[in-house]
Amino acid sequence: MLRVGLTGGIGAGKSTVAKVLARAGATVIDADAIAREVVEPGTRGLAELVSEFGGEILTGDGALDRPALASVAFADEASRLRLNAILHPLIGARTQEHIDAAPAGSIVVQDIPLLVEGAMGPLFHLVVVVDADEETRVSRLVGSRGLDEADARARIAAQATEDQRRAAADVWLDNSGPAGALDPAVGRLWEHRLEPFMRNLAAREAARPAPEAAVAANPDGAEGAARRLAQRLRAALGGDAAEVAAHANGAGVAATVRAAGDVTADVMADAMAERMRGAGLVRSGASRFRSADPGAPATVDVVA
């Protein structure tokens, strides 16, 4: 399974890209839809919210009154933390159910508005960010969602900055153009990068050089790719990696993982192999791994 994180600021067109990927064959998991699902009438989530915040958060027909909930749950930091303590485990569990239900060999795209704000990028094989210039986003929010301009700009300002999103992005899709203008680039991304990446992971084969796979690649280049690979390795390997270092070289990214504990490199590589696949890497030697992503060549050596 290939796990892709999809995100973008409000009004950028992330949901449109998700629909294009779904038509291509992706299994799309919508975080916002799940967040609504776990608090529908009759759910454990709604019952726990009522127990915590009172019956005043319900409408007359027993559904969640979201503005009423917001007025009490965001009144102070302690209330917000109680809200998150109820919702986050439920959303996480339901998301995992969707992931587990996806067929083997699926490309699972998780549509997560706050992926960057939540520092979730390292948990995915690939992060796709959809962006548009601010004036375009404001125009869309005013025209299609009925927001006034001040509200639209305030919502944009409350989210991650462009620089923060660029730092998290493996793929950067500029959706500032008219409707449908981005569809061909999304199609090429699917054909030349996502599908081959999935096939390589499934076959445990390193990626072959593929210049066409660089479609919409983040312009921060190999240095940015090195930083993101190091983050993925730390997330995947946890305490088994005493030290992780990655840097750009002429062939892409070279990284080393220093094993924790008194074991040989090849023994630790055995123990890390499946988790390395979680970071997009496949074994290519006794203690060496290589990237399965045709758009991000990398070599990782495990050392004692």
Extract the annotated binding site for ATP: 11-16
Q: Is the Cβ–Cβ distance between 164 and 119 less than 8 Å?
A: no
Distance separating alpha carbons of residues 10 and 157, to the nearest angstrom: 10
Q: Is the Cβ–Cβ distance between 120 and 231 less than 8 Å?
A: no
Our measurement of the distance from residue 272's CA atom to the centroid of its chain's CA atoms, rounded to an integer in Å, reads: 22
Helices (H), the chain: 14-24, 31-37, 44-53, 66-73, 77-101, 134-145, 149-157, 162-168, 183-189, 195-203, 221-237, 265-278
DSSP helix/strand/coil, 165: helix
Q: Is the Cβ–Cβ distance between 127 and 115 less than 8 Å?
A: yes
Binding site per annotation, positions: 11-16
